[in-house]
């Protein structure tokens, strides 16, 4: 087996199999960052344990991060503060009663300037260490809400996808509604009812064969090897799509769609008989996280 042509399946597997989730990333270098931390809100458990919780936001116009912090207290003669206070939970951002973003520790796309309500369901755990190795702790949970106003202009691309079906084909449309260009847009598509691992292995074998054919100095032994590997999978004899930007077998496709300007869209047409339950994942290095259709 030619060692210089071994392919890893991790990237495609992650893109196809991971549900839409936003990946934490640092603000772009030089980006102006808008930060805000709310006044604290109290959550209280039977007037025995309490925590003063603050919700903080940070955005560079492309991504939005929400964090939670607080101080935990236990009731003694008065209120005694724990040495440490761990705060965790889920949050949601609404505008005029409609949810526009939600998460826990993930980064989400910035929804744009305006007035919002930020609410969080919080679990706070206080802990104090004592001499001799013992410790005391207490937990309290509750919900806090604060108003928050963003002023930053949106930046970056905003990729979205939709699927339109006709009798004999399915058209997947990728659109960029953001103010900036999306570079190196890739689409990973799969018929969701298929055996994923087999389809992925078959597609990678097909990609290896095609790449062997396009080398500047083709190696005939290498071509023969990858051709034999590719032909081990009957599903490689049929393609989901004939789009020249895609490498495709009967159940799975990987497409390199190039750049997508602000307001632009592009389509990939799939054969309906091989895409009865089509799912797509779209990525770009300029896009925050992945988008699924």
CATH number, domain with residue 205? 2.60.40.10
Lowest mean pLDDT among 18-22, 180-184, 187-191, 209-213: 18-22
In this prediction, residue 31 carries a pLDDT of: 62
In this prediction, residue 210 carries a pLDDT of: 92
Region of 236 on the Ramachandran plot (φ > 0 left; ψ -120 to 50 alpha; else beta): alpha
State how many domains the chain has: 2
> Domain check: are 209 and 227 in the same one?
yes
Interatomic CA distance for residues 236 and 86, integer angstroms = 52
Domain with 55 in it: 34-150
> Domain check: are 165 and 137 in the same one?
no
> Domain check: are 60 and 92 in the same one?
yes
pLDDT digits (tens, 9 = 90+) for 223-247: 999 999 999 999 999 999 999 999 9
Choosing from 92, 115, 150, the residue where a domain stops is 150
Region of 258 on the Ramachandran plot (φ > 0 left; ψ -120 to 50 alpha; else beta): left
pLDDT digits (tens, 9 = 90+) for 118-144: 999 999 999 999 988 899 999 999 999
Is it the case that residue 90 has pLDDT exceeding 50? Answer: yes
Residue 99 maps to a domain: yes
Is it the case that residue 279 has pLDDT exceeding 80? Answer: yes
Cα 23 vs. chain centroid, distance in angstroms?
A: 5
Question: Using CA of residue 101, residue 107, residue 112, residue 117, what is the dihedral sign?
Answer: positive
More confident residue, 55 or 218: 55
More confident residue, 25 or 105: 105
Interatomic CA distance for residues 232 and 229, integer angstroms = 5
Residue 23 maps to a domain: no
Average pLDDT over residues 214-218: 91
In this prediction, residue 201 carries a pLDDT of: 94
Neighbours of 118 (CB within 10 A): 20
In this prediction, residue 97 carries a pLDDT of: 94
Residue 5 maps to a domain: no
Residue 13 maps to a domain: no
Is it the case that residue 248 has pLDDT exceeding 90? Answer: yes
Residue ranges of alpha helices (H) inside 103-219 are 196-213
> Domain check: are 255 and 139 in the same one?
no
In this prediction, residue 95 carries a pLDDT of: 97
Average pLDDT over residues 271-289: 88
pLDDT band at 194 (very low <50, low <70, confident <90, very high): confident
Interatomic CA distance for residues 292 and 243, integer angstroms = 20
In this prediction, residue 254 carries a pLDDT of: 96
Neighbours of 99 (CB within 10 A): 11
In this prediction, residue 209 carries a pLDDT of: 95
> Domain check: are 246 and 128 in the same one?
no
> Domain check: are 88 and 212 in the same one?
no
Percent of the chain with pLDDT over 90: 75
More confident residue, 122 or 286: 122
> Domain check: are 112 and 233 in the same one?
no
Tokens at 222, concatenated: 């290498």
Interatomic CA distance for residues 185 and 287, integer angstroms = 9
Longest dimension (CA), the chain: 85
Average pLDDT over residues 56-73: 95
> Domain check: are 205 and 136 in the same one?
no
Is it the case that residue 151 has pLDDT exceeding 60? Answer: yes
Interatomic CA distance for residues 106 and 90, integer angstroms = 10
> Domain check: are 146 and 182 in the same one?
no
Interatomic CA distance for residues 162 and 27, integer angstroms = 28
In this prediction, residue 110 carries a pLDDT of: 92
Exposure string (b/e) for 39-78, b if CB count within 10 Å is 16 or more? ebbebebeeebbbbbbbbbbbbbbbbbbebbbbbbbeeee
Interatomic CA distance for residues 290 and 104, integer angstroms = 17
pLDDT digits (tens, 9 = 90+) for 3-45: 333 333 334 444 443 333 323 334 444 568 999 999 999 999 9
């Amino acid at each position: 087996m030619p060692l210089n042509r071994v392919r890893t399946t991790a990237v495609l597997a992650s893109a196809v199999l991971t549900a839409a989730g936003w990946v934490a990333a640092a603000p772009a270098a030089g980006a102006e960052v808008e930060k805000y931390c709310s006044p604290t809100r109290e959550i209280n458990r039977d007037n025995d344990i309490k925590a003063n919780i603050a919700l903080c936001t940070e955005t560079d116009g492309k991504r939005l991060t929400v964090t939670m912090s607080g101080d935990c207290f236990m009731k003694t003669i008065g209120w005694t503060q724990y040495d440490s206070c761990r705060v965790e939970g889920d949050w949601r951002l609404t505008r005029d009663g409609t949810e526009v973003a939600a998460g826990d520790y993930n980064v989400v796309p910035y929804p744009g300037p305006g007035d919002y309500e930020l609410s969080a369901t919080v679990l706070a755990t206080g802990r104090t260490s004592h001499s001799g190795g013992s410790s005391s702790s207490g937990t309290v949970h509750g919900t806090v809400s604060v108003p928050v106003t963003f002023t930053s202009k949106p930046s970056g691309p905003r990729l979205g996808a939709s699927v339109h079906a006709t009798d004999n084909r399915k058209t997947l449309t990728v659109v960029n509604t953001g103010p900036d260009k999306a570079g190196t847009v890739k689409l990973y598509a799969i018929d969701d009812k298929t055996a994923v691992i087999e389809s992925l292995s078959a597609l990678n074998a097909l990609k290896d064969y095609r790449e062997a054919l396009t080398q500047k100095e083709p190696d005939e032994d290498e071509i023969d090897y990858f051709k034999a590997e590719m032909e081990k999978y009957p599903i490689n004899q049929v393609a989901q799509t004939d789009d020249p930007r895609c490498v495709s077998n009967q159940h799975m496709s990987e497409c390199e769609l190039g750049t997508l300007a602000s307001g632009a869209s592009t389509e990939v047409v799939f054969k309906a008989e091989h895409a009865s339950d089509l799912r797509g994942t779209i990525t770009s290095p300029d896009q925050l996280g992945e988008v699924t259709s």
